[in-house]
Amino acid sequence: MHALKLTRKSLGIPYALFLLLFVAAPLIVLVYYAFTNGQGQFTVSNLTGFFTDPNTLGTLCYSFAIAVTTTVVCLLLAYPTAYILAKSNFKRKSVVVMLFIMPMWINFSLRITALKEILTLIEGNLAYYPFLNAVIGMTYDFLPFMILPIYNTIVKLDESLIEAAKDLGADERSAFFKITLPLSVPGIVSGIAMVFLPAMTNYVVLDMLYNSTYIMGSLIGSYFAAYNWHGGSMIALILLGIICAFTLATKGMEDEDGSAAGGALL
């Protein structure tokens, strides 16, 4: 017994080391940089600077708008798709699901470049519609991340619950809105988490679409390009705060439903 205990403990060491090296240490470095200035003195000016500079605040709002729009568009596209996929009687359902997931396996720059060419054909000059292009690019990139968790929750949904609702007098519509939709909320929440946060920061999509507008990710990138580690770190920390707040909020939501996060597949 004693020997076994030791073994188990030692098995945990690599994991602990990994956590320390790649999670805890970078976080400490991040916090240190965020609250110091170029001379290494403690300061909150990075924080106050961010919230008083109209440029950075504008970028925050702009990223927020892009992220919200992308998420909503993704959700509107993904939910019906996932629902139809989950309820269909396709013989090889998994293959059809795979078709929707496949783009994730194709190289990112190739996909976006192709999208850029298509958009150029349609719009002529990409610079005319920066917001629209950003949303299209992000939606194209993140849609599978929204479909998959929603599909998973709907597919796992106990069919007898819907039958029970109909048995109790609910028609198709009413059964959907009272049973299926509320019970797929965990999938929707995971989908939103998978799409919303990357959509705020993934400026590579914008760059590759020759989009000159700034989102949070581009802001951090520009700070770092100018060797301003302190300002960049603070923005990263603020984003981290937003992620944490979002996760905590949605976690409460899932617990209220009394159902495990069915979308925790990825």
Partner 1 sequence: MREKIIELQNITKTYDNGFTAVSDFNLYVKRGEFITFLGPSGCGKTTTLRMIAGFELPTEGKILLNGKDIANLPPYERPINTVFQRYALFPHMNIYENIAFGLRQKKMSEDVIKKKVKKVLELVDLEGFEKRSVATLSGGQQQRIAIARAVVNEPEILLLDEPLGALDLKMRKEMQLELKEMHERLGITFIYVTHDQEEALTMSDTIVVMSKGKIQQIGTPEDIYNEPKNAFVADFIGESNIFNGIMTGKLKARFGGGEFECVDDIEEGTLITAVVRPEDVIITTPQEGTIRGTVTSVIFKGIHYEIVVESGKNEMVIQSVRAPKVGDYVGMKVDPDNIHIMIAEDNTNYFMVDINSDHRLEFNGKLLDTSVTKIIKGSRRLENGSIADSAGEVIDPQRTKISAAIHPRNIQMTDDISAGNVDGYISNLIYKGDHYSYVIHTDLDQDFIADDEYLWNMGDHVGLIMPVDKMTFKLVRK
Q: Residues in the site for partner 1, rule: CB under 8 A?
A: 158, 160-161, 163-171, 174, 178-179, 182-183, 257-259
Of 53 and 163, CB closest to partner 1:
163
Give me the least distance between CB of 158 and partner 1, in Å please: 7
Give me the least distance between CB of 59 and partner 1, in Å please: 39
Give me the least distance between CB of 79 and partner 1, in Å please: 17
Q: Determine the Cα–Cα distance for residues 202 and 20; give it in Å rounded to an integer.
A: 26
Q: What angle do CA 240, 262, 143 make, to 5 degrees?
A: 65
Give the chain's length: 266
Of 89 and 125, CB closest to partner 1:
89
Of 30 and 170, CB closest to partner 1:
170
CB atoms near residue 120 (< 10 Å): 14
Give me the least distance between CB of 181 and partner 1, in Å please: 10
Of 100 and 176, CB closest to partner 1:
176
Classified as helix, coil or strand, 113 is helix
Q: Determine the Cα–Cα distance for residues 152 and 140; give it in Å rounded to an integer.
A: 20
Q: Determine the Cα–Cα distance for residues 230 and 161; give it in Å rounded to an integer.
A: 53
Pull the structure tokens for residue 220: 């951090």
